[in-house]
Amino acid sequence: MIRKPEIPLLKFNSPSDWFALEYPDTWTLEEDSDCTTLYKTSGGVGAFQISGYETDAPQSPESSLREYFADRGIVISEIDQYRTDGQLLACSTFEDNGSYTKVCFLSKGTRLLFLTYNCDAVDKASEIEEVDEIIHSITIKL
């Protein structure tokens, strides 16, 4: 991902101390007891959300992703997978009824983060680069 140098990044550490991330200062971050939500402050088209789960044993993000889609009857053709600093990330996308959704699972140890980005399908190109940058900046803390 190539970030536009004129947009500074802000750092966020979750109050639960589960994860940290960076996001463009043109975005707003809100947190409640269930999830963290980010959206572009002005002219935004979608919302990016993060939820965290503690599991009994390490989880496969790819398996979690496949199960998520299978439970919803959604067939996916491609899964993007990454491994960085002991973290595993699996992501896929789908479009339905004019909506675009990117779903990812990120794991490290027994911690699993569920990440989603939603917007109208016609607008998906306008923020996805910044969303991908946020996703790849996330660090799970143990």
Q: Within the chain, what is the greatest distance between any pair of CA atoms? A: 43
pLDDT at position 85 over 90: no
CATH at residue 107: 3.40.1000.10
User: What Å distances lie between residue 14 and 18, 52, 75, CA to CA?
Assistant: 6, 10, 33
Q: Does residue 1 sit within a domain?
A: no
Q: Report the number of secondary-structure helices (H) and strands (E) in the chain.
A: 2, 10
Residue with tokens 């500074």: 8
pLDDT in tens, 20-49: 999 999 999 999 988 999 999 999 999 999
- What is the predicted pLDDT for the residue at 100? 97
Q: Does residue 32 sit within a domain?
A: yes
Report the distance separating Cα 7 and Cα 107, nearest Å. 28
Q: Does residue 4 sit within a domain?
A: no
Q: Does residue 3 sit within a domain?
A: no
Q: Does residue 136 sit within a domain?
A: yes
CB atoms within 10 A of CB 97: 5
Report the distance separating Cα 78 and Cα 72, nearest Å. 16
pTM higher than the cut 0.75 = yes
Residue 5 backbone phi and psi in degrees, to 5: -65, -20
Sheet holding 139-140, edge to edge: 9-13, 19-24, 139-140
Q: Which residue range forms the structural domain that includes residue 107?
A: 9-140
pLDDT in tens, 56-69: 999 999 999 999 99
Number of domains in the chain: 1
